[in-house]
Amino acid sequence: MRKVTLYIECSSTYIGKKPRLSGYVLEYITQGLPVTGQAFREGSGTYNQEYLLTIADALGHMKEPCELLICGSNRFVLNMIRDRLQIWAEHDFTSNGRPVMNQEEWQAVWEKIKEHKVSIQIGKHSYSGWLLTEMEDRNGSKEDERAKRSTKMEGRNENTENAKGGGHDRNTANGSDLSETKGLSR
């Protein structure tokens, strides 16, 4: 049985919903050399949701059962994979008579992980720094692109307003001052 290691990181460990990047590296050794594949995904769910979705994505690339070591920093998700996932699956992803939080994401992970022999390692790993740096670079590139688009849009808006308004300041129209908001309800 082939041994595969899944290394995973998220750009933010904030527990609530927010835009974040997640990335992973799948690695196995063949003929004494490591073979790796990596991918990144963007999402806006909670930390646990995005972590689970990233694990499911990585597992989707595995074509045969293997000994799988999952390395990462999300203590809750990794402990639940080790200690509770099979029990939840046996009970239709309920616990104490209620659906488990992130039920769909846990089901997606279960469907792809159940054929593997899984162990976990919690904490930083050999790809932590690289994955986090890549996500920072990707996030920085997206912010740069957003800023460029915003600047282009502002330029278009000014040109449009100047053409329509005969060069008037965009806070004034027909002599009235639109920057005054006193007395206006919002």
DSSP per position, the chain: --EEEEEEEES---SS---EEEEEEEEEEETTEEEEEEEEEEE-S-HHHHHHHHHHHHHTT--S--EEEEEES-HHHHHHHHHTHHHHHHTTTEETTEEPTTHHHHHHHHHHHTTSEEEEEES--TTHHHHHHHHHHHHHHHHHHHHHHHHHHHHHHHHHHHHHHTT--TTEETTEETT--TT---
Half-sphere exposure of 161 (CA within 13 A, CB side): 13
- Domain spans, the chain: 3-136
Among 118, 60, 47, smallest CA distance to 85 is for 118
Question: For position 12, what pLDDT does the model report?
Answer: 96
Digitized pLDDT (tens) for each residue of the chain, 186 residues in all? 899 999 999 999 999 999 999 999 999 999 999 999 999 999 999 999 999 999 999 999 999 999 999 999 999 999 999 999 999 999 999 999 999 999 999 999 999 999 999 999 999 999 999 999 999 999 877 666 666 676 665 655 555 444 444 443 433 333 333 233 333 333
DSSP per position, 84-117: THHHHHHTTTEETTEEPTTHHHHHHHHHHHTTSE
Question: For position 139, what pLDDT does the model report?
Answer: 84
> Topology of 3-136 in CATH?
Nucleotidyltransferase; domain 5 (3.30.420)
Question: For position 140, what pLDDT does the model report?
Answer: 79
The residue assigned the tokens 């054929």 is 115
